[in-house]
Amino acid sequence: MKAFKRILVPIDHSDYTPRILEYAFLFGKKLDLEIFVLHVVDSRVLQPMPYSYRQLDPEYHIRQSNEDMTREIKKEVQKEIDEGIRFEHTLNVNIVVREGVPYDQIIKVSNEKSVDFIVMGTRGRTGLEEMFLGGVASKVSRRADCPVFLVRTRNTIKDKW
């Protein structure tokens, strides 16, 4: 059987991100893996409006987003570790921020980093978009060259009340 060395963990800062990171960190600890935490800044959201009064340099959004998102992802990962997911050894976590269409960038990064599998949630920030366009997780699991471990985001009775 193939020895696993690297995993990719796409996150979107939704309420389910801590649970996804918990699974990834558990795999990382048990299998001594290098972990790539990825956030994709959706380029479809950053399109400047054609009728806006002041047009910004198109690279402005990308530069700002990458810097801002890298800081946010580092805070999110550190917060998760601080809130109780602690391990006996240091996890090898790398942060990657990309701009583009999320499922496309997830697949590209998984190929670039030669990851052995992807750990991601079944549900992200935009439930309505997933309902009409097909979810990011669904597209990644159908198109990725490696296995995809999906972390389900089940509602509990506590969540409903």
Name the domain count of the chain. Answer: 1
- Cα-Cα-Cα-Cα dihedral sign, residues 114, 120, 124, 127: positive
pLDDT-derived band at 118 (thresholds 50, 70, 90) equals very high
Residue 72 lies in a domain: yes
What's the pLDDT at 110? 97
Q: What is the CATH number of the domain that holds 128?
A: 3.40.50.620
Per-residue pLDDT, averaged over 43-57, amounts to 56
* CB-neighbour burial class of residue 83 (10 A; exposed 0-12, middle 13-18, buried 19+): exposed
Q: Read off the tokens for 121.
A: 């949630």
Residue 1 lies in a domain: no
pLDDT per residue as tens digits for the range 58-106? 565 566 666 777 777 777 777 766 665 555 557 888 888 888 889 999 9
Composition of the chain by helix, strand, coil, percent to 5: 45, 20, 35
Task: Give the residue numbers spanning the domain of 156.
Answer: 6-160
Q: Is the pLDDT of residue 121 over 70?
A: yes
